[in-house]
Chains A and B, each alone.
Chain A
Amino acid sequence: MMRTMISLFVALTLWAIPVLAQDGGPLRIEITEGVIEPMPFAVPDFVADTAEAREVSRDLSRLVAADLGGTGLFREIPQDAHISRITSFQSPVQYADWRAVNAQALLTGAVSVDGSGRLVVQFRIHDVFAGQELGEGLQFVGTRAGWRRIAHKVADEVYSRITGEGGYFDSRVVFVAESGPKDQRAKRLAIMDYDGANVQYLTDSSSLVLAPRFSPTGDRVLYTSYETGFPRIYVLDVASVGRRTLPTLDGTMSFAPRFGPDGRMVVYSLTQGGNTDLYSMDIGNGQSTRLTSAPSIETAPSYSPDGRRIVFESDRSGTPQLYIMPSQGGEARRISFGQGRYGTPVWSPRGDLVAFTKQSGGRFHIGVMRTDGSEERLLTASFLDEGPTWAPNGRVIMFTRETQGAQGEARLYSVDISGRNLKQVETRGGASDPSWGPLQN
């Protein structure tokens, strides 16, 4: 309604333009068609005043540029095209020089080492064409070993100031690291930075592990292990690598766990007597509540960000489809109606979208739809894509892509929710089942 009124108003305004113009009012035009392209930005090396700082400053500024360029929203202007050099962080920027190379955003920074040997990184973001700073300068202090995190934090800040959305660079991903041939693949849990750096292994490969899921604060991981021969759910503390089993009934199989937004409730699937249903558990006291009791298979539950609803997969209609129900159980509403089979729904951290895996026409897709099932959009297509997980800002999805054939291997990919910027995440070997953690503090 509002929009209609606005359009009407604008239409009337435009209609009246000759009149207004002759009355000396401003000329009015409406721009409705723009372009969508990466914004060109420049990151000259951060200024360093000592040799020690210089060691880090280049790597650090390169990593910031890589973070930003990797989003597909920005395009770095190569340093050899720069006309102007930044030699002092404090002196004013020659905007004309940066305008000349068509840099729309400019990041300048300085790196120094303080008395206690810690890195001090200061930076400013400039809107080149407006000829002014974008917000205030900022400073991060951290350990030298933690320079990558400082760089990610700088990039997050730049990203959010320019786009208006939260960043996601200073975040980690837990996943299943795979090695060995397909028929006897060894799997173990691993954790890495969002860009594939700093891999640490959380378990050994003695037993099959599946589907790790970060807690909302990123300090714990839920996963399913076949250690006992049956799938059981474990919760693992990331810092200490200590773990424990979630208490479930003997003789049952439990899997597909996922934390609620409070980090206390866990929703999971439990198979008993050949029927699979959804349960939730308060991991503080181990109390489980049954949420569904249909003869069909209900699995892959995921909480909404407010914790009030759960989206899950069920084959109650004959084929696997997506449903939403209240988080205490109750009537479920089907939201997927397209051709094919839908699975592994994950609620976006913004709450507006659900990402899912879809199998249709012999191919697998990662897609998104609104929570009422409308505006379904498939973002990828391949032999096997599955298991989407959201970046903390709800703008990027990471998933597993497995290639065909005996030599086929699973790798992690990421894609923007617009379907652009599909690319592989660098991992040393095979990798699957990613779960993207929150931004770190």
Chain B
Amino acid sequence: MNTGQIISGTGHLALIGWALIGGTFQSAPPPFEVMQATTVSEAEFAAIMDRAASPEAVANVDTPEPPAVGETAPQMTSDADTTPEAAQPEASAAAPPDSAPDVTGVTPPAPAEVEDAPPVMQVPSEDMAVMVPEVSPRPQPRPAPRVAPEPAPQPEPDVRVDDVTQPEVTPDEGADVAEEPSEATAPEEAAPEIVTEAEEAPQAAPSASVRPRSRPDRPDPPRDAPTETAAATPEPESEPEPAPERTRPTSDRTAIDDALAAALGEAQQSEQQSAERPSGPPLTGGERDALRVAVQRCWNVGSLSTEALRTTVVVAVNLARDGTPEIGSIRLVGSSGGGDTAAKQAFDAARRAIIRCGNDGFDLPVEKYDQWRDIEMTFNPESMRIR
């Protein structure tokens, strides 16, 4: 269902509603509506009080069943309550969910449904002329339950592995047919930042400026003119990104080294290079980027406390030769910006990211295993906090 239909639909509904009832107001004060002015009976009151009685918490469940036996039914009230509540099960037998016990109220469904449409629509119907042009760049930002570095349009795109790199990869390699079917599950639509109801569409700018950096470069371009690539790729931020190795370090020497390393990666190895770098070629910028992107796709900060969102954690992990993380090796190396609890939450989120996205093995060149066997990842949520 597109926005136009929704707007048109509710517009019509509103119009019909208005036509039906619009003329009937009068300011004469007739007697007010039917309304049970319930004075609470004693029994009900007792039931209410009982319902409000706080449950007791007991830590350490591990002691199996009998724990509370010791309590010798202190309150007589609990007997009293079983009676009112015996009535509830009958109601809930018909409609198990929560609403049943409350008041068996027949009314709730109706208002709820009517309500759904108006809140969103009524204002738009007035502003429609203004809204329409603005909406187009960012049609459904609110519904997107996911905020990701790369905005994703609608469910259609592919499997998780692909969704970040895809814009680059597709032309080169052609999409794998095998990946198409699984699309439905993984990457939902995503907005680059949280868009509140009050915000229209102006904030595309900042996110766009950050974008260029995150595309993983292929190893091939540097082959012909490495230094030029370095100069040509505009690096918007001087922030500490892995990409630097290849492009930014600015000194020609490093750029050349990296380009050589990349070329070597393709050509398997070469002696002179290994003479320069005894332990084998380091990861190229592209490979490091790919790893970073792979982890950040699973780094979900959505359920972190605001304090944890201010906490940067450094997490160490050992990878097996197939690129999968050794779960037991994931450990917190350091943290800054928050207390212990926040650091723990932040660490938990980081660990989940590593395990989830490394489940099938990170895509790293086996011949450079020594280079990536031990990894320290710094998870810095600063830029996520302000979205």
16 contacts between A and B (CB under 8 A): A3-B337, A11-B239, A21-B371, A27-B375, A29-B377, A31-B292, A35-B147, A36-B146, A146-B53, A149-B53, A179-B35, A197-B99, A199-B102, A379-B198, A380-B197, A406-B21
Residues of B within 8 A of A (CB): 14, 17-18, 21-22, 24-25, 27, 29-30, 32-33, 35, 37-38, 40, 47-62, 64-65, 67-69, 71-73, 77-79, 81-82, 84-85, 89, 92, 96-99, 101-103, 105, 107-108, 111-112, 115-116, 118-119, 122-123, 142, 145-149, 188, 190, 194-199, 214, 238-242, 244-245, 249, 254, 257-258, 277-279, 282-283, 288, 291-292, 295-308, 312, 316, 327, 336-337, 341-342, 344-345, 348, 350-353, 355-356, 359, 370-372, 374-384, 387
Interface contact B78-A31, CB-CB below 8 Å: no
Q: A14-B240, A130-B351, A140-B56 are in contact. Are A21 and B282 (CB under 8 A)?
A: yes
**A199–B36 CA distance with the chains assembled, in angstroms:** 13
Contact A146 B50 (CB under 8 A): yes
Nearest Cβ on chain B to A157's Cβ, whole angstroms: 8
Contacts of B387 in A (CB 8 A): 36
- Which listed residue (B67, B122, B374) contacts A120, Cβ 8 A? B67
Evaluate whether A36 and B196 lie within 8 angstroms (CB atoms) in the complex, with A26-B374, A407-B21 already known.
no
Q: Given A22-B279, A114-B71, answer yes or no on A35-B146 (Cβ-Cβ < 8 Å).
A: yes
Is A217 engaged at the interface, CB distance under 8 Å to the other chain?
A: no
Contact call B56/A142, Cβ cutoff below 8 A: yes
Determine the residue in chain A with the shortest Cβ distance to B188: A37
Contact with B along A319-343 (1 / 0, CB 8 A): 0000000000000000000000000
* Contact partners of B21 in chain A: CB under 8 A: 406-407
Contact A440 B119 (CB under 8 A): no
- Neighbouring A residues of B257 by C-beta, 8 Å: 18
List the one stretch of A244-252, A273-281, A305-313, A418-426 in contact with chain B: A418-426
Of all chain A residues, which has the CB nearest B364?
A27
Does A104 sit within 8 A of B, measured CB to CB? yes
Chain B CB within 8 A of A79 CB: no
Q: How far is the CA of A31 from the CA of B18 in the complex (A)?
A: 54
Q: Is the CB–CB distance between B29 and A184 below 8 Å?
A: yes
Tell whether, in the assembled complex, residue B299 and residue A186 are in contact, meaning their CB atoms are under 8 Å apart. no
Partner of B35 from A90, A162, A186 at Cβ < 8 Å:
A186
Q: Are B22 and A406 in contact (CB under 8 A)?
A: yes
- Within the complex, the shortest CB–CB distance from B277 to chain A, in Å, comes to 5
Complex CA gap A162/B345 in Å reads: 7
Interface window among A226-234, A256-264, A283-291, A397-405: A397-405
Report, nearest first, the 7 A-B pairs whose CB atoms are least far apart.
Answer: A419-B196, A137-B61, A142-B55, A378-B198, A116-B73, A34-B299, A36-B147
A139 beta carbon closer than 8 Å to chain B: yes
- 8 Å CB contacts to B: which residues of A1-20? 2-3, 6-7, 10-11, 13-15, 17-18
A139 CB to closest chain B CB (Å) equals 4
Closest to A377 in B: B196
Chain B residues whose C-beta falls within 8 Å of the C-beta of A200 in the assembled complex: 40, 48
Query: Which residues in B have their C-beta under 8 angstroms from that of A38?
Result: 145, 302-303
Residue of B nearest to A72 (CB): B145
CB distance from B129 to the nearest CB of A (A): 14
Nearest A residue to B378 by beta-carbon distance? A30
A59-67, A207-215, A295-303 - interface stretch: A59-67
A130–B384 Cα distance when bound, in Å, is 24
Is B303 in contact with A145, judged by CB distance below 8 angstroms? no
CA A10 to CA B314, docked complex, whole Å: 11
Is there an interface contact between A141 and B68, defined as CB atoms closer than 8 Å?
A: yes
Give the distance in Å from the alpha carbon of A107 to the alpha carbon of B79 in the complex: 31
Given the interface contacts A6-B312, A21-B282, A382-B123, does A164 sit within 8 Å of B107 by beta carbon? no
Residues of B within 8 A of A199 (CB): 102-103
What's the minimum C-beta distance from B72 to chain A, rounded to whole angstroms? Answer: 7
Most A CB within 10 A of own CB, among B48, B198, B279? B198
Q: Which of A10, A63, A131 contacts B240 (CB 8 A)?
A: A10
Of A165, A367, A426, the contact of B198 (CB 8 Å cutoff): A367
Taking a contact as CB atoms under 8 Å apart, the answer to whether B57 and A138 are in contact is yes
Contacts of A116 in B (CB 8 A): 71-73, 78
Contacts of A145 in B (CB 8 A): 47, 50-51, 81-82, 84-85
Chain B residues near A123 (CB-CB < 8 A)? 61
